[in-house]
Each structure stands twice: as C-alpha cells, then as structure tokens.
Structure 1
Amino acid sequence: MAYQRRKTRPVWVGDVQIGGDAPIVVQSMTTTDTRDPEATLRQIHELADVGCEIVRVAVPDRIAAAALADIVPRSPIPVVADIHFEHTLALKALEAGVHKLRLNPGNIRKPEEVREVVQKAKERGVPIRIGVNFGSLPPMTREFVDEMAARGATQTELIAEHMVRTALSHVKILEDLDFGDIVISLKAFEVPVMIEAYRRMAKLNDYPLHLGVTEAGTPKAGAIRSAIGIGTLLQEGIGDTIRVSLTTDPVEEVWVAYEILKTLGLRERGATLVACPTCGRVEVDLFRLANEIDEYLRTVKEPIKVAVMGCVVNGPGEARDSDVGVAAGRGKGVIFRKGKIVRRVEEHEIVPALKEEIEAILAERRSGSAQARREISIPIIAD
C-alpha cells in the first residue's frame, strides 16, 4: 500500500509547524533540573545541535516555573512546559512565554481553573498537548468494561479504547471553551496498546498526533521498542511529531528519532551507515572499523550514505547505492564511490581514508551548491 499521510490541521509551536503539510517534527525532553536555567539551556543547545526541533521541560513547582522566564528567551528552539495538577504553574509558564503546554485538563480539578489556563493560552496563541499515558489513566467504569466485553474486545482493545475516551474527554473540555489549538498523545509502554490507541484516535478527528512509546527503556531495548511502535504508525500515515523516550542522554533520543524517519524515507538528516553483519570471510576487525565510522558519522549533519563492508569481492557491488564506502580484505581495503573503486589502502589507513573521502564528497556538494547560487545571482544584462 502506498504511503498516504493522515490529513491534520496545522498547529504552530513557536515558529515550528506540527501537522498540516509540515515534515514529521522531532522532539525531546530535558533531564536537567529546570530550576537550574544554565544547565537546562546547555542541554537544550546540545539537543538543538543534533536536530531537536521542540524541547519539553518539566515544571514541578513554582521555582521551576519562575526559571522559565530565563530559559525561554534564550532557547534556540521552542519550549514546551510540562504541567500537572496545579493550574497556576501553567499560568506562570504562559507568562514566561512558553510556546506550548503539555497537560491533562482532567487533573486540574476545578473547571474555572481550566478556563483560566485555556483563556490565557488562547490569548497568547499557545497550543496545548493533551497527553494521556497508560500509567496515569483513571479507573475504568463497570459499564465501560461490560460494553467492551459485549463487543468481544481483547485486553489490548479495552485499554486502547479507554485511553482514547479519556483523551477525548479532556479534548472536549478545551473544545467547550472554543479552543482548538490541540495536539494529542496516547502513550503506553506496551507497543500493541499504543498502536491500537493511535489508530482509533486517527479516525475520530483531525488533530495532530504526537507519537511515542512511554518509558521505552534503556537505549538498546528502548530504541527497538520505539522503532516498532512509532515506525508502524508513521508507515500507516499516522503521526505528526515524535519523541523517543529513552533512559539515557536525550541527545540519543534525537538520534534514534531521525534514524526512524530516515529508515522510512520521511526525513533526511545526517549520515546513514550501511554495514555488513560479518561472516567467516571477514579478515579485518570490522566491528572496530564500523564502530569508529559510526561514531564519526554522528558529527556529520548533512545526508550521506556510507558503507562499511567486510568482503572485498562483493562489498562494492552490495553497497553500490551508497555515496561512499570501504570493502576490507586481508590487511587491506578499497574505498569506493557509488560502487566504483577510487582508492586502495592498508588496513590501518582505512578509517582516515574513508573520513577523507566523506569530507571530500561533502565539500564537493557545498562547492556545487555555492556555484549554483553564484550562477543564479548573475544579473542578465540586455544588449
């Protein structure tokens, strides 16, 4: 089935558009204490440098809310305030100029307090993300459980529908106040539940959807879990912005997010590494070579496809669509571009030689772009 993205209304978070015809937006969240503006800003800059486009910060108390006035104006990317329970924190965040709120209207108990937050958000043009997580759902009613049982619902369908109805009840609070600048998320650790919840919500309205697998885990397992959950939905055309939740430096979250998008052909940023899994024919330390190149490629922000292959006979052919690569043999390697050999080097020269070739290709591209710009800018003088 051909890829066809779900049509959603555009929502602006600062100068970043979510939904509509915008690309899938990559988000992350700081792990610093928001009450420390300098530490938080350092991490925000680190995230922005690797491609994070929107950042969320926790606002657990009034000191953290007060710090936003120092953080928001100096942030290189739009800031989202994560609010729970106390509506005054949302009001202070709005006064500080945050670009978006993440909250559950359902856990702000008094209707007049919700109205106050929504009115101020509306006045300032600040959208609200209704964020529903499986771990913080209200109890299911007996009537709801009986209704779903009568439909023959599975446990996954039961939980997913409960998440959807909970989110819609929160959305209705905002809609009743004539507020429609809404983004919705339905996160769960169990990937089948998360997928089912988003699929159901996608059929019910045109609000942009923020995808994520909550509490996905440590980098290895969490990246796999996120790739399956987020990737499945994106391939179905569902999702407008993503956050990969990992128990690690949030810079890693951004890297994994872009790998998911690149793998699906939805975004291009940075390098893509192609590497063979190795076999008995490999006669060099391919693990070391691949890891060294992979680490180096994380510093490359421009799209380029690089192959590290362990077989000097088949390597160039197997990776012929890569921009550049190496195929290694016994103590030697051949550097190739688009499958054509351009250099032969000793094993200890492979990594520096491959880096040189990558830099050369990027420089050629930049030079070509600069030349094209110069040619376009040449004025046409009539005779």
Structure 2
Amino acid sequence: MIKRRKTKKIKIGYLEVGGNPPAPVSVQTMTNTNTSDVKATVKQILSAERAGCDLIRIAVDNQKSAEAISAIKKRTNIPIIADIHFSHLLAIKAAKFGIDKLRINPGNVGRKQNESKRVREKIIKEIADIAKKKKIPIRIGVNMGSLDPKMEEKYGRTAEAMVHSALEEIKALERHGFGDIIIAMKASDVGMTVEAYRELAKVVDYPFHVGITETGLPPSGIVKSSIGIGVLLLEGIGDTIRVSLTAPVAEEVEVGLDMLRCLRLRKEGVDFISCPTCGRRYSGQKETMDLIKISKELKEALKNEKRYIKVAVMGCSVNGLGEAKDADVGVMLKINSGEIYPLDKTKKYEVPKDKILPEMFRQIDLFFKNKKKDQ
C-alpha cells in the first residue's frame, strides 16, 4: 500500500488537495483553445469533465482571455486555473474575474531584463495580496524550458536549479504572508524531474502537482509520463497530476486516471484486465476465441462507466482461472465458448461464443445492482 506524503491542505474552489490525511490525487489537463473564444473553451472543458477531469488550466496571456474567465466559469463545473507568464497584471485580472487558482512561472513573471529585486518584490507582493483577498491558491510552476536565467547560470540545467527556483519563489510569497501554495517542477527528462521532487519533498510540506513536461505523442509520451509520475506516486509524492501529451486533452485525463487506478489511488471506472496473446491459446491445434476483438468490444462499451469494477478477459486456463476469479466479473475464453465468472465464483458457467458479450454485460449490471443494495 502506498504511504502518501503528508502536506498542508489547499483548497482550489471546492476541491481539496494534499492534507493530513491526504485528499485523493486529482487529475488535471490544460485547454488548447484560444481562451477568449468562450464557446470553444467551454466545449473543451466539458469534454475533459466527461473524461473524469478534476480541474483544468487555461492560458491567460492577454486581457481578453482574462475577461473571458467569468463567462467560462458560469458554463463549466470544475475548478479552473489561470496559466500566467510574464505579466503579473494578468494574474491580478484573472483573480478579479473569478479564477480558482493562479499558476505563475518564476522563470519569467517579474523577470524582465535589468528588473531590480525591489521591483520584483513589489510584483510578488501584488500577486500575493490579490490571492489572499480572493482566497485562491498559487501554484509555483517551475519548468526547465523557461528556467530563471540566473538559476541556470548558477546551477546549470539541473534538478538543483529547479529546486532552488521553487524555494526562492516560496520564500518570496511567504515574506508577504502567503502560504496557500502548490509546487510543480517539470522537465522533459524523467530522472531530473523525479530528483527535483524528491529533494524538495525533504524540505517543504506544500502539496505537489507532478508531471513530465513535453513528453510528445502517444504511445512514447504515455510511457515517459507513466515512468516519471508512477515512480513519484509510488513513493507517496504527488497530490495532483497532469499527463502532458501531444494529444487531445481528454486523452491526457484518461491516461492519468488509468495511472491512478493501476496504483490503487483511484477506485472509479473500469479496471480492465486482459492477457497478452500467446501460443497457449491453441488447444489441440485449435485457437480459442478472438481475445483481442472481444477485449476491445467490451472495453469500448464500458469506456464511459464511472463506477468502479474490475473486469477480466482471459485467453487460457493457465493464468485465466486465477485472474477471472480475482475480478468482479470475468471470462475465460475457450475454443467456441466462454466460461463466465460472476461475482459469486461458485456459480461459474459456460456460454457459446455468441453469448459471451451479452452475458458479460448482464453480469456487470447485476454486480452494480447488488452493490447498490449493499450500500
């Protein structure tokens, strides 16, 4: 069982992050629309919500985008984060228009060329003051792609540079009495990202948003994200996650939820178990049922199911028997039939191949009906 890191509890709208005991790990993504296009942005946020997204970030890089926040919030449900770069005035605008959380980049907010420490301190104070007034948290979002040049000059492009950048920003906000902070430190290098979070976890108790940035296209981007995020979550590090893919935002959410299900950090949706195809599917030179086809059809039919259930589709009797027994509902495929394992495994039964999917759906419905009675 994963022992989660204890942190300060932060609220983003109605959503709790971190704490002791910690709130459930939440999944987020980011829109790729022009935020000032309210209709398109709302459509994408609602799509992410249907996929299971807990909170979402929008780009606020101009006045019109900031002004669109209130209209977007009226038509959506989950907490919204304003992504702020360069101009602290946009952070102030976003807060005034009802944003639920600010993400500021310490690599570029208040870091114009030759800007004095005194001016930057004033900028941080203004951001902290509006966040306190509106009771919204701030995420310090350090990214290797936009690292503070002074940190890069001193520490190089390293995990140490990201940690010191985050610590400097934490201290700046704390100097102005602000402590509702979440921290992210992302690089496209998995090892560097993991090292940075491990080191910062030793010295602060703020919640962490974790992810590997710019991982690219699936499936390689999913692999990269799964390794980096998965390692941290297994160590108890991480309170919110984003899987950054060159892919539709809903796909990022689905992959993130799958990660949490695999680690038993989220018990909702379908935990789908199916075996790899192998030569054991041939019994007496005859192939068992088409495992790939049946698995795809079953998974597709259940893709929008939000209630938790463990479903197994197995191709032979070697491992199939045990996996089917462990699932809430399972099937072990034979040559022209399937052995169905309902919730009561003592009542397993065999059906012809054309009845496998209908029987699986029937048993899944019965599982949820029985679960509802027990509640």
TM-score, reference length from structure 1: 0.88
Q: Is the partner of 2:183 in helix, strand or coil?
A: strand
What residue is the counterpart of 1:358 in the other structure? Answer: 364
What residue is the counterpart of 1:373 in the other structure? Answer: none
CA contact (8 A) 1:105 1:173 kept: no
What residue is the counterpart of 2:337 in the other structure? Answer: 332
1:333-378 alpha-carbon deviations (Å, 9 max, x no partner)? 1211254453422223322321222122112222333xxxxxxxxx
Q: Is the partner of 2:280 in helix, strand or coil?
A: coil
Q: Distance in 1 between matches of 2:161 and 2:271?
A: 39
What residue is the counterpart of 2:315 in the other structure? Answer: 310
What residue is the counterpart of 1:216 in the other structure? Answer: 215
CA contact (8 A) 1:23 1:240 kept: yes
**Cα distance, 1:46 vs structure 2:** 2.0
Give matches, 1:15-34, under 5 Å: 15-20=14-19, 21-34=22-35
CA contact (8 A) 2:324 2:332 kept: no
CA contact (8 A) 1:189 1:216 kept: yes
Percent sequence identity over matched residues?
Answer: 45
Assess, with a 3 A threshold, how the Cα gap between structure 1 residues 351 and 209 changes in structure 2: closer, same or farther: same
Q: Distance in 2 between matches of 1:341 and 1:30?
A: 48
What residue is the counterpart of 1:185 in the other structure? Answer: 184
Residue 136 of structure 2 is aligned to residue 126 of structure 1: yes
Assess, with a 3 A threshold, how the Cα gap between structure 1 residues 88 and 178 changes in structure 2: closer, same or farther: same
**Cα distance, 1:102 vs structure 2:** 0.4
Assess, with a 3 A threshold, how the Cα gap between structure 1 residues 223 and 88 changes in structure 2: closer, same or farther: same
Residue 46 of structure 2 is aligned to residue 36 of structure 1: no
Q: Is the partner of 1:351 in helix, strand or coil?
A: helix
Assess, with a 3 A threshold, how the Cα gap between structure 1 residues 261 and 297 changes in structure 2: closer, same or farther: same
Assess, with a 3 A threshold, how the Cα gap between structure 1 residues 142 and 314 changes in structure 2: closer, same or farther: closer
CA contact (8 A) 2:208 2:239 kept: yes
What runs of 5+ residues in structure 1 fail to find an aligned partner?
146-154, 370-383
1:306-346 alpha-carbon deviations (Å, 9 max, x no partner)? 00011157523333110111111112112112544534222
Aligned length in residues: 357
CA contact (8 A) 1:185 1:209 kept: yes
1:100-148 alpha-carbon deviations (Å, 9 max, x no partner)? 0001245232423332222111111111000011111133669845xxx
Q: RMSD across aligned C-alpha pairs, in angstroms?
A: 2.0
Give matches, 1:97-116, under 5 Å: 97-109=98-110, 110-111=119-120, 112-116=122-126
CA contact (8 A) 2:182 2:206 kept: yes
Letter in 1 for 2:12: V
CA contact (8 A) 2:151 2:161 kept: no
CA contact (8 A) 2:341 2:347 kept: yes
Letter in 1 for 2:312: A
Assess, with a 3 A threshold, how the Cα gap between structure 1 residues 143 and 250 changes in structure 2: closer, same or farther: closer
Q: Distance in 1 between matches of 2:370 and 2:152?
A: 67
Q: Distance in 1 between matches of 2:160 and 2:18?
A: 23
What residue is the counterpart of 1:67 in the other structure? Answer: 68
Assess, with a 3 A threshold, how the Cα gap between structure 1 residues 141 and 336 changes in structure 2: closer, same or farther: closer
What residue is the counterpart of 1:167 in the other structure? Answer: 166
Q: Distance in 2 between matches of 1:340 and 1:88?
A: 66
Letter in 1 for 2:330: G
CA contact (8 A) 1:309 1:328 kept: yes
Letter in 2 for 1:342: K
CA contact (8 A) 1:80 1:102 kept: yes
Give matches, 1:173-252, under 5 Å: 173-252=172-251
What residue is the counterpart of 2:9 in the other structure? Answer: 10
Q: Distance in 2 between matches of 1:140 and 1:121?
A: 26
Assess, with a 3 A threshold, how the Cα gap between structure 1 residues 276 and 96 changes in structure 2: closer, same or farther: same
Q: Distance in 2 between matches of 1:365 and 1:16?
A: 27
Q: Distance in 1 between matches of 2:109 and 2:266?
A: 37
Q: Is the partner of 1:219 in helix, strand or coil?
A: coil
**Cα distance, 1:55 vs structure 2:** 0.9
Q: Distance in 2 between matches of 1:60 and 1:96?
A: 14
